[in-house]
Chain A
Amino acid sequence: MKAFRIFGKNISESFKGVFRNFSLSLASISCITITLVLVGFSIILSYNVNNFTTEIEKDLTIVVFLDRKIETEEINVLQTRIKTMDNVSNVIYNSKEEVKKEMQKESEVFDSIMSQYTEETNPLQDSFLVKVDDINGIGDVADEIKKLDKVDLVKYGEGSVEELVKIFDIVKKITYIAVAALVLVTVFLVSNTIKITIQSRRREIEIRRLVGASNSFIRRPFFFEGIILGFLGALIPVAACWYGYVYIFNRLHGQLFTAIIPLVKPSNIMHIVVISLLGIGIVVGAFGSYRAVRKYLKI
């Protein structure tokens, strides 16, 4: 019963603390708000960059052109052979007839040209489309396929693919670092702001110490106060990210300028953004306040 009363006192103190020192609370809240808006949008950005690069990487394919004299039997054997290689996720066979039909569908010019060829005279080649699990090993897989019998040509965009993957890796890392740096800035700014606001309450803390309040009794209201401040500070960023991103997504019809750069659906990332913003706000607020009090617990 006693412990409950003490706890209740702590909670009511923390609400009093927020509202009695409202101008100072407002300073902390707006500091949290501003930094979290940046954090929120950088999280969204980093998700989109990641999504875009993984989509592109998924599309990277090795095209294996087969010898013209290959038999149907041999095609099956070869396909199983490639399928069992390390790092190969999927092998699709395209016969030259299928490719011809595909091309004819694509445009009238192709249609008229290709229709001159019969099954025997078809200049196209049978081919495999090979997808890999780890894009970094695409070159090795291609080299291995080259060594196989009855394989004519292996193409995967040598050089440019490696370059692209390297750039994507760097871009991803940059977005991670940007998010981490912004979170750090938030922690630093918020804990400093709270430190300044608590300075004006040092007298209150000192007197509490002098009349026999334990350190945890003194600290607890500040801890809860930090949670309240962090929560209030995260509300605007959450709303801004949510409505802002949904608006941008709808406005751009889900893609950035071209269909090559699709945007991540809001429903896929909003829960993560909301949870991380509220989480960061609350944790930073609570521990910022908690730590700021320590300095005054020495009287």
Chain B
Amino acid sequence: MQLIELRNVNKRYPNGVTALADIDLEISKGEFVFIIGASGSGKSTLIKLLYRQEKPTYGEVFVGGINVAKLRNGKVYKLRRKLGIVFQDYKLLPKLTVYENVAFALEMYGLKGDEIRKRTIRALEQVGLKDKLRSFPDELAGGEQQRVSIARAIVNNPKVLICDEPTGNLDPDTSMEVMKVIEDINKNLGTTIIMATHDKDIVNRMKKRVIVIDKGLVKKDIQKGRYRNESV
């Protein structure tokens, strides 16, 4: 079984909108995958299925051997511990420092204090923010804030890093910096990356696998793909 498998997945929202129809998808360990598509194409829904923000109406979603579709609300944490999630709006806690924001994701494991410190610092090193430990999020630039949230996402050594429009709020240069960080994580740590994005430049430059979602269907699935206008 692959790291991530979607079989015959359908998602229909209570308001009658069908967001995804008959999606079949496999992503293996260590891959770097872009998921692209216009607004309302269903790519956000697809991403949300992977970390069980949403449940499929029917069909099966397997992530790291867990059947996400059948996961009860109380057991969702078991899935989330295998994942790191990065959002467009960073989702940092404003009252906590950079260090605390990252260590926050290790709280529930019951680790020893020095173990938490070691791992937190290592994660912040990975994203190049070791010198900003004591800053608060609002003292940082957008790209730095996003890097903090990436550090938080990888601090528990996840198998998969899910990124939902991570560069959506950033200018092109900063976006590339963030992409470099994500690519390094993929290369150095072997973490599987799944990233939903709008950014043509990024997709074209990175030359990774591209899955194009359109009207709830997988329209294209290309290795070393490019973001062409006709595909959106």
Size class of the contact patch on chain A: 20 to 34
**Given A210-B80, A212-B156, A215-B74, also A5-B95 (CB < 8 A):** no
The yes or no answer to B66 lying at the interface (CB within 8 A) is: no
**Given A3-B110, A5-B111, A203-B93, also A209-B76 (CB < 8 A):** yes
Contacts of A259 in B (CB 8 A): none
Given contacts A211-B80, A217-B108, 6 further A-B contacts (CB under 8 A): A9-B108, A203-B93, A204-B93, A211-B105, A212-B77, A214-B77
Contacts of A210 in B (CB 8 A): 51, 80, 85, 91
| CA gap between A19 and B97 in the complex, in Å | 17
| CA gap between A206 and B93 in the complex, in Å | 11
Residue of A nearest to B111 (CB): A5
The yes or no answer to A88 lying at the interface (CB within 8 A) is: no
The yes or no answer to A147 lying at the interface (CB within 8 A) is: no
**Given A203-B91, A204-B93, A207-B93, also A212-B110 (CB < 8 A):** no
Contacts of B110 in A (CB 8 A): 1-6, 9
Structural contact, B53 and A207, CB atoms closer than 8 A? no
Contacts of A213 in B (CB 8 A): 77, 107-108
The yes or no answer to B73 lying at the interface (CB within 8 A) is: yes
Point out which of B91, B107, B111, B152 has the most chain A C-beta atoms below 10 A from its C-beta: B107
| CA gap between A203 and B90 in the complex, in Å | 12
| CA gap between A208 and B107 in the complex, in Å | 9
Contacts of B108 in A (CB 8 A): 6, 9, 208, 212-214, 217
Q: How far is the CB of B47 from chain A (nearest CB, A)?
A: 13
**Given A204-B93, A213-B107, also A5-B112 (CB < 8 A):** yes
Contacts of B112 in A (CB 8 A): 5
Structural contact, A9 and B93, CB atoms closer than 8 A? no
**Given A9-B107, A9-B110, A298-B73, also A209-B93 (CB < 8 A):** no
- Residues in A lying within 8 Å of B, measured CB to CB: 1-6, 9, 20, 203-204, 206-215, 217, 297-299
Residue of B nearest to A21 (CB): B95
Structural contact, B107 and A215, CB atoms closer than 8 A? no
The one of B53, B74, B83, B95 in contact with A299, judged by C-beta atoms closer than 8 angstroms, is B53
Residue of A nearest to B75 (CB): A214
**Given A2-B110, A204-B93, A207-B91, also A212-B104 (CB < 8 A):** no
Residue of A nearest to B101 (CB): A207
Residue of A nearest to B113 (CB): A5
Structural contact, A297 and B73, CB atoms closer than 8 A? yes
